Structure 1
Amino acid sequence: MLYESMETAKKMRYILNMSPVLNKDAMFSDGTEYYRTPVEPREGDTVTIRFRTQRNNVDNVCLVHDGEYLEMKRERTSGSFDYYTAQIIMGKDIVRYYFEIHSGLVTCYYDTDGVSTRHEERTEFEIYPDYHVPEWLKGAVMYQIYVDRFYNGDPSNDVETGEYSYIGDISVKVDDWGKIPAVMGVREFYGGDLQGVMDKLDYLQELGVDVIYLNPVFVSPSNHKYDCQDYDHIDPHIGKIVEDCDGLLSPGDRDNSHALKYIRRVTDKRNLKASNELFRELVEEIHRRGMKVILDGVFNHCGSFNKWMDRERIYENQEGYEKGAYISADSPYRSFFCFQDQNRWPYNPTYDGWWTHDTLPKLNYEGSEELCRTILDVGRKWVSPPYNVDGWRLDVAADLGHSNDFNHHFWKEFRKAVKEANPDAVILAEHYGNPESWLLGDEWDTVMNYDAFMEPVTWFLTGMEKHSDEYREDLYGNSEAFIGAMKHHMRSLHMGALYGAMNELSNHDHSRFLTRTNHRVGRLSYAGAEAASAGINPGIMREAVVIQMTWPGAPTVYYGDEAGVCGFTDPDNRRTYPWGKEDLEMLDFHKRMICIHKAYPLLAKGSLEFLWNDHQGLSYGRFSDSEQIIVIINNQDYERDVRVTAWKTGVSRKEATAFQRLMLSSRDGYTEKAEKYIADAGILHVRMPAYGAMVLHHRAREKYK
């Protein structure tokens, strides 16, 4: 008996002297305002960095920055967690840091990949001095408008059939608003215009839009307008035509120097002035309603119709215009382009085209300082009075110039020009791949978020490639791949860029997300338009919208997605908005999720943590020190029970915590009916419906009694 008592006492002493089991899942830090203040420091600022651990779980925490070890102080204890802080002074160079945690004989590290037993430089946190993204962009609800397909507010400016020739055939005026775009539909015009945008501002405001992103609006012969003809003027075909004439092309005639009606419409200064004035009025009205607007800047290339080139001889004999570079070797614009044969003038067709397209002349920045100055002036002009737009979305921004070095040089100069004219203007780039070298605070503010949003979401929820060109069973429902892709690509965006990134499910370059829910590989040319809407699953679309409206970044709705528009990739993704024929259930769901997004600032600036995942299942939390939102996704075709570790968002493990349901969506519909869910010991047990998405909310004062 004595021996047993001695052994028991020995065991108790051993247990009492043991360090607690290290809870790696409780460790957390990120670059949000809850764990780093200020989030975007300037040189000389004192930066406070925080780190969270389980209460009484570690011996000490060190902040390691640029080789220097700084022991962190336990600032406070709240609920089940201890919070440690340390301060550093921001210098002129990038600060890289990570955390070293000690508990007994155990040492581990925490960086952007989470907890590890080995430190790696590539996954360190980074702070960029003087990196500032406009606050209004972070978490803003954006709405992308492809102007020709949105709403026709002024039929008098419509492109006429036979008005001019483009890529081998005549322009076509489409009289049936509901017609499916033709496979070669670039020269089809439905009549959408800026007056139509003006007429629908009530609709956009009711939807909850903060920022309108307009696809290109400058003079151009195509409906997409990525082949700019005149950077200084809004296209009168979507603006205002006050001077007009007869003069359509004769049957069989493809010579645009004979297109007298087109020439009058796009070169007459009265039309150009009136169109710019209408645009000014539109921006003024958008601002009056508390919204903002950004323009599409296509500066890598222009169009063969461009007045600087004038391949179509539109401007050749018009008063007030210089000769284009195609027309004459003496053109003041000759250096704007690279010509391969210097002996072919007049009418020299040997200019370089972007990806060899002769309709898209590549702009020769390295060969022309005047071109550089001109485009910088364009960048300044539209963000300045009287137009006052709120920024630029930059088309194929990484392609500009003929070298990577020049590309960076130009965007540095562009940023200076734009920010000097309008310090709060945003510079947002289209980019595929790693954008880090452009996101150092002196070029772009942020990007269209393909890699860290559109692609992982569509692979996980649908198994489809974003053009509907491929289906991958191995990625469909693969939450590990989703989490891995998100962590990897989000790391390259930094916090300011991430929280302002354009998070789209669809856009003008990719198939509609609703179409991807049918898992059908196809394009309009061989699958047909009906296949794009056959077998679609609105429940999966609602899952995607829930993720879009609760994920870090600026949720961006592509016009018509909210109304249930389907379509394969370009040109089928550019169908018209179905006014009067909307999917009202889908539209109402968007309104309600946008309302939730805007009602909880936590969704714009809160931290993100993954809480649970399995095949076709995912849960994550958005949280601050005192508030939590938990999102649960069940992408299975049957209902099931889910166990979510809610305590990782900061709720107590010692007390029951009440969460209120904000939204529940399923295969059969959705409801905002409030319902209480209790997290016992920090764990939520939830019954999730098939193709379900749930949004739960808790504030610290809502403790369960």
Structure 2
Amino acid sequence: MTSAHRRGAAVLVDEPHHDGSALYFPERPRVLGDAVDIYLRVPHAAGVGRVLLRQVHDGEAFEVPAQVALADVGGAAWWRARLVQVNPVVRYRFLTDGGPFGYRWITAAGPIDRDPTDAHDFRSVVYEPGPEWLRDAVAYQIFPDRFARGADAPAPHEPPAVVPDWAQPATWDDDPEWQAPAAGRQFFGGDLVGVAQKLDHLQGLGVDLIYLTPVFPAPSNHRYNASSFDVVDPLLGGDEGLAALVAAAHARGMRVIGDFTTNHTGSQHDWFRAAQADQRSEEAGFYFFGDGPADYVGWFDVPSLPKLDHRSDALRERMISSADSPIRRFLRPPFALDGWRIDVANMTARHGEDDHNAEVARQVRAAVLAEQPDAYLVAEHFHDFTPDVDADGWHGVMNYSGFTFPLWRWLGGEDAPSDPALGLHWRDWPRLPAAAAVGTMRDFSAVPWSVRQDSLLAVSSHDTARIASIAGDPKLVEVALAAMLTFPGVPMIFAGDEAGLTGRNGEESRRPMPWHVPGAFDHASGEVLRRLIAVRRKSAALRRGSMRWAFADDDRMAFLRETADETVLVLLARGGGDGTPISLGTSAMGLQTPRESDTLYSSAAPVVGDGCITIAGHGPAVGIWRWAGGGPHDTHDGPHDRQRKKG
């Protein structure tokens, strides 16, 4: 990987700031017509004397003046304005007389010194966020075939193992195949009993949410080509295996979500076979057929993955909304899953001129919450998810575009793999500066705050290269893991990252877990994860606080996570450059009388003096420091009280 042209440092902590967290949006509207006060933090260094709030009602934008609620708290003036929730989604941004031209918009994507499109706006919604337990969750993704075999289960290549016709038996030490068709046929024999027997390992890391890739029967190891949604694959332990795993996890205070394909089935699915057998059947309307049963639409033209046609009300009833639908039934005992990850959610119900994606997302959410009000619903999405998350559909997404990919492009090593499907377009793709990564991350922040909080943050997954192969250097892996555990969202570990497993693409990354290798789990990444998860657990700001960018240059980025009681500064440095120390004004940070910091993760404490906090700038390195106090508890005569007005 080549390095991009070097750019200057940007001190961002002096910028006005707003986000949808409780510090700036203390009470969210719940019904149309609610009027609530929201706040803009304006550091004195920004030189702002006027603020307007622009909001869009029924498609028309208008502006209302903001007033100073507190003139000097944490080195800033806090401006208050009234937002009225006229529509289910209200887009808004602030106009100030700051910046070089005296004309600066404050948007979700950051300050803009010209008139931007509404795509950059903050979004206020009336829809309920994801479950409260998600705020504290740390997730762990498991690909069952490669995770663990139950202690009594024979290896696939040894009698009396039963191996299906489609499978190519493998030993646990075999390298994963990465080219079709062998990649989908290689069968290692991991099962749900094996997962249940390794819960001690997960708890030892600090994990409390398990995400299982599909468990339905299918003629492949990945099981995204399901042949039925009625039962759990017997090769994984059947219905009893899933029920026992979830019960064991629940007994430990852990939760489990499954993986469901609303976009397609397998070509051996009961529904598709019925459709091909009788083109006048109800099931024939579940798919896109042309001239006869052999002429149908496959997902990306893959014939083994016939695409579902959600124009069919009967399909939606059978798959989603009926009491016996798989989406609802597996949320009930004896299975009692805690939610779903929806595969290919971005392509579901989209084909040609037809687009029913938002309708289906809304219907899935209604079905899930009717069955289990505390469930979590997250969507797979590999590109720009921002248009798909304003409605009452997915709680969040797998945040590849707004987190994983920009982080990779900043940290990627000289030998980082390419993968056009993941936006890594060529072998020598450039190593971008931190300021560019921050710019992308800010662009993808233009979504409801609840979506940021409820989205999964991963540095690797079963569909991507491993972070160990992307970064190359274990110290850079540490930087990536620290980002995952300190950004707003739900951190998600891909099984094996704690053991330093490698993989240059999704198939190669699906390596079996090295349980039998002495010392495999003494890897540095495992200890890093345990420490960082413990840091996250002890800081409410890291789990629930606002996020304010503080600094970015080529090789370093720093940001603040804040609540009314706590300020946390996070530094991520990849190395390179001259390692010049970073100085941030204590007033702009909201620390007018800074006391000694609580060092949560670093070998060095910040230096306080001359109105600045100075932190070492060399890398690769991670620093996490905490101070008592953050934003104001009060912004009026009383605490952040909510004012409701109708009409």
Structure 1 length-normalised TM: 0.78
User: Counterparts of 1:15-34 in structure 2 under 5 Å?
Assistant: 25-34=14-23
Deviation at 1:400, TM superposition (A): 2.2
User: Counterparts of 1:597-676 in structure 2 under 5 Å?
Assistant: 597-636=536-575, 640-645=579-584, 647=586, 650-653=589-592, 655-664=593-602, 676=605
Q: Which of the numbers 127, 137, 143 marks the counterpart of 2:134? A: 137
Q: Which of the numbers 145, 149, 154 marks the counterpart of 2:146? A: 149
Q: Is the 8 A contact 1:37 1:49 kept in 2?
A: yes
Distance 1:415 1:686, change over 3 A: closer
1:517-539 CA-to-partner distances (Å, cap 9, x unmatched) read: 2xxxxxxxxxxxxxxxxxx3111
State the partner residue of 1:448.
398
- The CA distance in 2 between the partners of 1:398 and 1:331, in whole Å, is 28
Q: Which of the numbers 475, 488, 509 marks the counterpart of 2:443? A: 488
State the partner residue of 1:268.
none
- The CA distance in 1 between the partners of 2:498 and 2:240, in whole Å, is 31
- The CA distance in 1 between the partners of 2:294 and 2:629, in whole Å, is 69
- The CA distance in 2 between the partners of 1:209 and 1:546, in whole Å, is 15
State the partner residue of 1:187.
185
Query: Structure 1 residue 397 and structure 2 residue 333: aligned?
Result: no
Amino acid in the other structure paired with 2:54? V
- The CA distance in 1 between the partners of 2:299 and 2:92, in whole Å, is 42
State the partner residue of 1:8.
none
Deviation at 1:58, TM superposition (A): 4.5
Deviation at 1:681, TM superposition (A): 4.1
Deviation at 1:107, TM superposition (A): 5.3
- The CA distance in 1 between the partners of 2:228 and 2:344, in whole Å, is 19
Distance 1:115 1:363, change over 3 A: closer
1:546-597 CA-to-partner distances (Å, cap 9, x unmatched) read: 1111111111100000111011113211001111423432211111111111
State the partner residue of 1:571.
507
State the partner residue of 1:206.
204
Q: Is the 8 A contact 1:27 1:54 kept in 2?
A: yes
Deviation at 1:309, TM superposition (A): 3.0
State the partner residue of 2:6.
none
Q: Is the 8 A contact 2:417 2:504 kept in 1?
A: no
Deviation at 1:203, TM superposition (A): 1.3
Q: Is the 8 A contact 1:660 1:677 kept in 2?
A: no
Query: Structure 1 residue 379 and structure 2 residue 327: aligned?
Result: yes
State the partner residue of 1:74.
69
Query: Structure 1 residue 128 and structure 2 residue 57: aligned?
Result: no
1:133-186 CA-to-partner distances (Å, cap 9, x unmatched) read: 2222235211000001111015547656894433xxxx2222x31211123231
Deviation at 1:228, TM superposition (A): 0.4
- The CA distance in 1 between the partners of 2:13 and 2:427, in whole Å, is 34
Q: Which of the numbers 309, 317, 331 marks the counterpart of 1:364? A: 309
User: Counterparts of 1:486-525 in structure 2 under 5 Å?
Assistant: 486-491=441-446, 493-517=447-471
- The CA distance in 1 between the partners of 2:117 and 2:504, in whole Å, is 42
Amino acid in the other structure paired with 2:165? S
Distance 1:299 1:584, change over 3 A: same
Amino acid in the other structure paired with 1:515? S
State the partner residue of 1:232.
230
SS of residue in 2 equivalent to 1:237: helix
Distance 1:36 1:327, change over 3 A: same
Query: Structure 1 residue 678 and structure 2 residue 607: aligned?
Result: yes
Deviation at 1:29, TM superposition (A): 1.6
SS of residue in 2 equivalent to 1:582: helix
1:84-123 CA-to-partner distances (Å, cap 9, x unmatched) read: 2233443344323223335899554422243444443423
Amino acid in the other structure paired with 1:227? N
Distance 1:114 1:221, change over 3 A: closer
Deviation at 1:410, TM superposition (A): 2.1
More displaced 10-residue stretch of structure 1: 635-644 or 407-416: 635-644
Amino acid in the other structure paired with 2:168? V
More displaced 10-residue stretch of structure 1: 130-139 or 391-400: 130-139
Q: Which of the numbers 60, 63, 77 marks the counterpart of 2:53? A: 63
SS of residue in 1 equivalent to 2:431: coil
- The CA distance in 2 between the partners of 1:98 and 1:365, in whole Å, is 36
Query: Structure 1 residue 354 and structure 2 residue 299: aligned?
Result: yes
Deviation at 1:622, TM superposition (A): 1.5
- The CA distance in 1 between the partners of 2:18 and 2:555, in whole Å, is 27
Query: Structure 1 residue 300 and structure 2 residue 254: aligned?
Result: no
- The CA distance in 1 between the partners of 2:510 and 2:235, in whole Å, is 18
1:8-51 CA-to-partner distances (Å, cap 9, x unmatched) read: xxxxxxxxxxxxxxx99252221111000224644344422112
Deviation at 1:475, TM superposition (A): 4.0
Distance 1:288 1:481, change over 3 A: same
Amino acid in the other structure paired with 1:439? V
Distance 1:651 1:410, change over 3 A: closer
Deviation at 1:418, TM superposition (A): 1.6
Q: Is the 8 A contact 2:362 2:392 kept in 1?
A: yes
Q: Which of the numbers 83, 89, 93 marks the counterpart of 1:98? A: 93
Q: Which of the numbers 431, 434, 457 marks the counterpart of 1:479? A: 434
Corresponding residue pairs, total = 591
Distance 1:332 1:164, change over 3 A: farther
Q: Is the 8 A contact 2:13 2:549 kept in 1?
A: no
Deviation at 1:394, TM superposition (A): 0.9
Distance 1:90 1:237, change over 3 A: same
Deviation at 1:465, TM superposition (A): 6.2
- The CA distance in 2 between the partners of 1:71 and 1:638, in whole Å, is 42
Q: Is the 8 A contact 1:28 1:53 kept in 2?
A: yes
- The CA distance in 1 between the partners of 2:254 and 2:201, in whole Å, is 13
Distance 1:644 1:404, change over 3 A: farther
- The CA distance in 1 between the partners of 2:214 and 2:264, in whole Å, is 13
Deviation at 1:639, TM superposition (A): 7.3
Q: Is the 8 A contact 2:140 2:209 kept in 1?
A: yes
Q: Percent same amino acid among aligned pairs?
A: 28
Q: Which of the numbers 24, 40, 43 marks the counterpart of 2:32? A: 43
SS of residue in 1 equivalent to 2:583: strand
Structure 1: gaps of 5 or more residues? 1-22, 240-274, 311-323, 343-347, 518-535, 665-670
State the partner residue of 2:110.
114
SS of residue in 2 equivalent to 1:490: coil
Deviation at 1:388, TM superposition (A): 2.1
- The CA distance in 1 between the partners of 2:451 and 2:627, in whole Å, is 27
Q: Is the 8 A contact 1:508 1:573 kept in 2?
A: yes
Amino acid in the other structure paired with 1:354? W
Q: Is the 8 A contact 1:393 1:427 kept in 2?
A: yes
Higher Cα radius of gyration: 1
1:171-222 CA-to-partner distances (Å, cap 9, x unmatched) read: 2222x31211123231121121111111111111121112111000111121
Q: Which of the numbers 454, 458, 469 marks the counterpart of 2:408? A: 458
Amino acid in the other structure paired with 1:87? R
- The CA distance in 2 between the partners of 1:139 and 1:496, in whole Å, is 14
1:592-639 CA-to-partner distances (Å, cap 9, x unmatched) read: 111111211211222222222222222222223442221222212587
Query: Structure 1 residue 277 and structure 2 residue 240: aligned?
Result: yes
Deviation at 1:417, TM superposition (A): 1.6
- The CA distance in 2 between the partners of 1:40 and 1:563, in whole Å, is 44
SS of residue in 1 equivalent to 2:229: strand
What's the C-alpha RMSD, in Å, of the aligned pairs? 2.8
Which structure's relative contact order is higher, taking Cα pairs within 8 Å and 6+ residues apart?
Answer: 2
State the partner residue of 2:627.
698
